[in-house]
Amino acid sequence: MSAEKECVIHDGIVDRVEGNKVFVNIVSMSACVSCHAKGLCNMSEIQEKSIEAEKPKGWEPKAGERVNIEMEERLGAKAVLFGYFYPFLVVLIALIAFTASGLDEGLSGLIALALLVPYYIILYLSRNKLRNNFAFRIK
């Protein structure tokens, strides 16, 4: 087993620098972009995203400079859990519980979906703590 952690690396261009933060634009492509039939798909598979990273010590980035952004692969799986899996569990468990308690199925579904609102509010309020866990690094 390698001592180095598996990382996802993207090429990017420095957009701006604000204090100790560097904002880098990357082009995110889905796996099907490299497919031989990519001409049949629409351009929605390619998105430009702005990534916030901490400025490395001793480096003064300039707008337009090319950089590599990296994030540990395991953090991507963790992000999927928070963004998709946990909300799915909230809806599923609530739907089962409300339906089992004798509530109408339609109302159970609406309440289960409504429970996503507090879930995402809590996620939003925790964004600063999460930002520290999901840090991008400039290489």
Please give the model's pTM, rounded to 2 decimal places.
Answer: 0.62
Contact 74, 8 (CB under 8 A): no
In this predicted structure, what is the pLDDT of residue 114? Answer: 97
**Confidence band of 2 (pLDDT split at 50, 70, 90):** very low
Residue 40: left if φ>0, alpha if ψ -120 to 50, beta else—which one?
alpha
Rg (CA), the chain: 20
Secondary structure E strands in the chain: 7-18, 21-29, 46-54, 66-72, 137-138
